[in-house]
């Protein structure tokens, strides 16, 4: 590798890290995804990934499902 490429590698190699497993949830529409992502019960348990998808870290999944249920929604199982 050239010196410039080696320097670039040293600067970038720690900027991308694995943070564990998560579940990707698709909402019926973007408005619902935004509503859930910003609700006081769920906003610390998930985050938006695109327009109508939510990412829920594995360690937050049970709390997230319970919170969504309290909002009056259910999550259909895939398969």
> Given CA atoms 5, 10, 15, 16 in this order, what sign does their dihedral have?
positive
The pLDDT value given to residue 66:
96
pLDDT at residue number 13: 67
Q: Judge residue 50's burial from the number of C-beta atoms within 10 Å of its C-beta, 0-12 exposed, 13-18 middle, 19 or more buried.
A: exposed
Q: According to the model, what pLDDT value does residue 4 have?
A: 77
For 16-74, how does the pLDDT look when each residue is reduced to its tens digit (9 = 90+)? 778 889 999 999 999 999 999 999 999 999 999 999 999 999 999 999 999 999 999 99
Place of tokens 């109508």: 52
Residue 1 pLDDT > 60? no
φ/ψ of residue 47, rounded to 5: -150, 155
């Amino acid at each position: 590798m050239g010196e410039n490429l080696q320097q670039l590698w040293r600067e970038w190699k720690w900027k991308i890290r694995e943070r564990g497993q998560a579940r990707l949830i698709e909402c019926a529409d973007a408005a619902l995804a935004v509503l859930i992502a910003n609700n006081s019960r769920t906003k610390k348990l998930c985050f938006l990934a695109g327009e109508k998808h939510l990412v829920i870290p594995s360690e937050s999944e049970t709390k997230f499902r319970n919170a969504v249920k309290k909002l009056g929604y259910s999550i259909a199982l895939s398969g």
